[in-house]
Structure 1
Amino acid sequence: MKVIIILSALSFSLLLPPSTFSLGASQPNILFVSIDDFNDWGPTQLDGAPFEVDTPNFDALANRGILFTNAHCNAPSCNPSRTSIMSGLHPASTGVYANGHDWLANERFDDILLLPEYFQQHGYTTLGGGKIYHANQGNDFNREGLFSPRGWDDFFPSFDFQLPVPSMPDIKPKRGEGNFNWGGTGKPLEDMGDHKVVNWAIDQLETPQDKPLFLAVGIYRPHMPWFVPDEFYDHYEDVKITPATNPAGWKKNIPEPLANRWDRHKKYVGKPGPSRGYAACVTYADFELGRLLRGLEASPLADNTIVVIWSDHGWHLGEKDHFSKFTLWEESTRVPLLILKPGANKREVDTAVSLLDVYPTLIELAGLPANKDNDGQSLLPIIEAKTDLKRAILTSDNEHYHAVRDGRYRYLKSDNAEALFDHFNDPREFNNIASQPGSAAIIKRLSKTLPTSPIPSMPQRKKPDDL
């Protein structure tokens, strides 16, 4: 089935034609694409995978757009990261740090404009489908999400459930344990929830619009479990899978609270199965992305649409004995971020940027007034190659534990521990140099990015039988 995957990319050749793109002449449309749990293994320019992972459609788009190679989430799990990008507020400003923090019950959000609300109030039709917020997937409490209907004219499949139910065929190959599992479904593409979401999105692109369109599309794969149609799992059958490994004794100079944050499933470190399952899901997500982009290319909106592709966080695949998000290491915080502005030249940007920057960037690209409530910073100066934003950015696990990342260093700080890593000499972050001569000045500089009075964590929401 490699032919199917590769042909899907070749038919998508150059994507969008260049245009003069005048904000004054016509308000641009926005295609806002989220790919869940998408780490740096996919895009070849990010070079994160220990073996080749095929993402031909993303790579084709990167050859036309602005790829941010040092982009990071604001929190390393779905709910706080997605709440942050959609509200423009950092978790340290709201107390929403975890999947169980019910931001819908947080008064901090009552008076701010969520991203779709902002575009809706400025004359846009706002449509969404799939996982944009932490999505509702079923009536079981453990599958309930935290979705807000505010600002949407319509949402697929519904305002009650943001992923088609079921989101995948009801088949569970057993190669791992629980949701940590992978394999082919034995079912057709059409049974996948992501396929249904992309079909719906293509229909919206083909529908004549009397107002500019803000279209949000959430692709659920490569979220666990890593089940995909057989052709994508079989795509890696003959590929030499090189799992991530870790040097012996890597924890010796890293404080205990920082080294062992989420080391479940570590018995699978060095085994190829999880890596194959994840890679298959990444290639499947890229296939659906290609379908969506070809739908845009064939639509009347093609020459006046800004495309942004992002993920809520990365994912460990054995690095530092982790198979998870939920950490403040590079593998968990670094995300693909790509913006295509018609008429802009291709660029790769290694400045540290944050998902918080997406909200103010999109409204400035659309020629709309700035939102004073945004915690982020517009990336338009970078997109237009006028200047480079030399700065550090913040990712928070909770009010007591943060990561600061700039163009060279990662600084981890908890209440009782710290670590510093030099990416020029240690890109995999195994050598803590916090106590070395010369590091004090670096730590002092990076510490200026730490929140001085972070909002405490919200209470975890209660299950119905606990209320």
Structure 2
Amino acid sequence: MKTILVNFKLPVLVTLLWSPLKDSNVYSADSKKPNVLFVAVDDLNDWISPLDGFPGVKTPNFDRLAKMGVTFTNAQCASPVCSPSRIAIMTGVHPVRSGIINNPPYINDYLNHDGPEWRQNPVLTDVFTIDQFFKKNGYTTLAGGKIYHTVAPPWSVINQADPDGWDFWFPNISAPVPYQIRASDKLIRHNDWVGRSPNPYFTWAPLPIDDNKMADSQTVDWAAYELQQKHEKPLFLAVGLFRPHMPWEVPQKYFDMYPLASIPDLKIKENDLEDAFDHGRRLWHKYVLDNNQWKKVIQAYLASISFADAQLGRLLDAFEDSQYKDNTILVVWSDHGMHIGEKENWEKFTLWEESARVPLFMMVPGLTKSKSVVETPVSTVDIYPTLAELIGEVPPKHCDGQSLVPLLTDPTADHDPAITAFDFDIVTNKSPYNRDLGLGPSYTVRTVDYRYIYYPLNGLEELYDHRIDPNEWDNIAYKKENKEIVQEHRNYLLEKVSGLKWTDEIPNGYTIENGQIKRIDFMSLIELEYPAVHH
């Protein structure tokens, strides 16, 4: 396990102690603690309507959620992949300090990576997870569904949660997500298609079943039941929805919401990666295009988002009908974003906006105002210290994030830029090129106007001006007029990640002319070839 030294500033506790009154800010240590409803939605990108969404997306319950409190429109994940992102959220330790910046290498070996094996990391061995923190401070801690990294049956059955933090897990801590019915093989296995599917779960099809047969629906049923019960202690209730994680297979009615003829083309730039990093997953996109499936997959992802939205709505109904609605902090988050063909990529595993930007919502009774919006970049590692402060406790010293409490009342409050880290590896990011052009730990900094990315192993830098280039199509890192901006972002990254170095050498495999960087041996998508199948 790589361990990269980091110099994170410890969060400063805003000492506004309060009892739960309308003009209050945070709970005092001796007042009755608020409950916490902690909701995770897997693989949800910024296509939902509160984040300006995909045209025609139907997410009325995310709209409802946005009206309840604060929407963070520029929240960034700590790492663009399930396991490190969720470990960072649940421990409060940023991946650049722990060195956990990719999923475990468990190809065909899931069960050997079950349980909290991340505890073997010396940085994380003794940290209190967020659930342990709440349990220590007098809470009943309940969870259902995917909170830590989980692979759901029939995929496999693992849960990276530390069992010490939970009083109960639905269905149980060893199998944390109910069994999920799959689409029939005749709908998702296509032996006559061009190329080879890159993943057996990279599938999309409607299911001829009702919502109550879906795993997420059953998780919400359980959560609704818990919200009907009287709990003697304050409640920390974690609810994890697996959709819209692939496979994109949800009931037919959600597909019917998005007729193919109504789905607009996704905006892309041809040869977009010519001035950028090759993430090594372009054959996924080639497979989709060669088989004329792009709009069908967009339809399936939108359907999966609307299914997740419907389950969120059922959960909000149960919450608002419960005895806890006036004394509960609500936080809803996703672990990372999702490419649906942008940058010729699918899933996540990159450091661009599609992977790094995530939905994040918070509602705190007596503190947040309805329909509030925070545009400042924040990180998902900020959630832990924020919740700790909101219940009147001092955030643990190991937390690397900053409390969001100042932003909950003042959207213009100062906040550090957000860092996202990822370890590009030969398994997840297998490049079609003959030589290594940048595999290894890499980092991005998101500021209000810019995204800066650095790939240390090949020296490549990327800079995108979000004021004029929200799609991150034009890498302007090597233009003379941006030299100071690049240096500012370098300096910030170096504050957080010790030991990073930059040189004046042209990145390996690239050429620079008049401030424009280009890959020397760039291949268009049509030139890429599928790997030979060995029998």
Give the structure-2-normalised TM-score. Answer: 0.77
- Report the Cα offset of residue 221 of structure 1: 0.3
- Correspondence for 1:253 among 275, 292, 315: 275
- Report the Cα offset of residue 104 of structure 1: 3.5
- Correspondence for 1:187 among 209, 218, 238: 209
- Report the Cα offset of residue 389 of structure 1: 2.1
Separation of aligned partners in 1, 2:354 and 2:416: 20
- Correspondence for 1:397 among 418, 422, 426: 422
Separation of aligned partners in 2, 1:174 and 1:183: 7
How many residues align? The count is 431
User: Any conservation in 1 of the 2:98–2:123 contact (CA below 8 Å)?
Assistant: yes
Separation of aligned partners in 1, 2:499 and 2:329: 34
Q: CA 1:184 to 1:453, structure 2 compared with 1: closer, same or farther past 3 Å? A: same
Separation of aligned partners in 2, 1:386 and 1:182: 39
- Correspondence for 2:42 among 36, 41, 45: 36
Instruction: Give 1:129's aligned residue.
Output: 144
Residue type of the alignment partner of 1:87: T
Separation of aligned partners in 1, 2:43 and 2:184: 21
User: Any conservation in 2 of the 1:243–1:318 contact (CA below 8 Å)?
Assistant: no
- Report the Cα offset of residue 34 of structure 1: 0.2
- Report the Cα offset of residue 191 of structure 1: 1.1
Instruction: Give 2:65's aligned residue.
Output: 61
- Report the Cα offset of residue 440 of structure 1: 1.6
- Correspondence for 1:279 among 299, 302, 305: 302
**Is structure 2 residue 459 aligned with structure 1 residue 453?**
no
Instruction: Give 1:303's aligned residue.
Output: 326
**Is structure 2 residue 255 aligned with structure 1 residue 212?**
no
Separation of aligned partners in 1, 2:164 and 2:119: 11
User: Any conservation in 1 of the 2:145–2:176 contact (CA below 8 Å)?
Assistant: yes
- Report the Cα offset of residue 444 of structure 1: 1.4
Instruction: Give 1:4's aligned residue.
Output: none
- Report the Cα offset of residue 407 of structure 1: 0.5
**Is structure 2 residue 130 aligned with structure 1 residue 115?**
yes
**Is structure 2 residue 84 aligned with structure 1 residue 80?**
yes
CA deviation profile, 1:24-51 (whole Å, cap 9, x unmatched):
4531110000000000001x131242x2
Separation of aligned partners in 2, 1:454 and 1:279: 42
**Is structure 2 residue 306 aligned with structure 1 residue 265?**
no
Q: CA 1:136 to 1:419, structure 2 compared with 1: closer, same or farther past 3 Å? A: closer
Gaps of 5+ in 1: 1-17, 456-467
- Report the Cα offset of residue 301 of structure 1: 0.3
- Report the Cα offset of residue 130 of structure 1: 0.2
Q: CA 1:321 to 1:380, structure 2 compared with 1: closer, same or farther past 3 Å? A: same
Residue type of the alignment partner of 2:180: S
Residue type of the alignment partner of 2:462: A
Residue type of the alignment partner of 1:259: D
Q: CA 1:183 to 1:367, structure 2 compared with 1: closer, same or farther past 3 Å? A: same
Separation of aligned partners in 2, 1:244 and 1:291: 30
Instruction: Give 1:45's aligned residue.
Output: 50
- Report the Cα offset of residue 107 of structure 1: 3.2
Separation of aligned partners in 2, 1:143 and 1:244: 35
- Report the Cα offset of residue 145 of structure 1: 4.1
CA deviation profile, 1:410-466 (whole Å, cap 9, x unmatched):
1110122111110001110011111112312111111123243379xxxxxxxxxxx
Separation of aligned partners in 2, 1:348 and 1:80: 27
Residue type of the alignment partner of 2:130: L
User: Any conservation in 2 of the 1:243–1:275 contact (CA below 8 Å)?
Assistant: no
Separation of aligned partners in 2, 1:338 and 1:155: 24
Separation of aligned partners in 2, 1:289 and 1:19: 26
- Correspondence for 1:151 among 156, 160, 165: 165
Gaps of 5+ in 2: 1-20, 106-116, 191-196, 424-439, 501-535
Secondary structure of the residue aligned to 1:67 is strand
User: Any conservation in 1 of the 2:42–2:245 contact (CA below 8 Å)?
Assistant: yes
Secondary structure of the residue aligned to 1:357 is helix
User: Any conservation in 2 of the 1:136–1:161 contact (CA below 8 Å)?
Assistant: no
Residue type of the alignment partner of 2:463: L
Residue type of the alignment partner of 2:354: E
- Report the Cα offset of residue 238 of structure 1: 6.0
Task: Please identify, of 329-338 and 339-348, the stretch whose mean Cα deviation from structure 2 is larger.
Answer: 339-348
Secondary structure of the residue aligned to 2:273 is coil
**Is structure 2 residue 439 aligned with structure 1 residue 417?**
no
Separation of aligned partners in 2, 1:376 and 1:287: 31
Q: CA 1:54 to 1:318, structure 2 compared with 1: closer, same or farther past 3 Å? A: same
Separation of aligned partners in 2, 1:264 and 1:80: 25
Instruction: Give 2:355's aligned residue.
Output: 332
- Report the Cα offset of residue 366 of structure 1: 1.2
Separation of aligned partners in 2, 1:19 and 1:243: 47
Separation of aligned partners in 2, 1:175 and 1:56: 33
Separation of aligned partners in 1, 2:322 and 2:453: 46
Secondary structure of the residue aligned to 2:452 is strand
Note the aligned Cα RMSD (angstroms): 2.1
User: Any conservation in 2 of the 1:124–1:211 contact (CA below 8 Å)?
Assistant: yes
CA deviation profile, 1:372-402 (whole Å, cap 9, x unmatched):
1100000000102175124311100126311
Q: Between Structure 1 and Structure 2, whose CA radius of gyration is higher? A: 2
User: Any conservation in 2 of the 1:411–1:418 contact (CA below 8 Å)?
Assistant: yes
Secondary structure of the residue aligned to 1:251 is helix
Secondary structure of the residue aligned to 1:260 is coil
Residues 11-26 of structure 1 mapped to structure 2, 5 A cutoff: 23-24=27-28, 25-26=31-32
Separation of aligned partners in 1, 2:213 and 2:340: 27
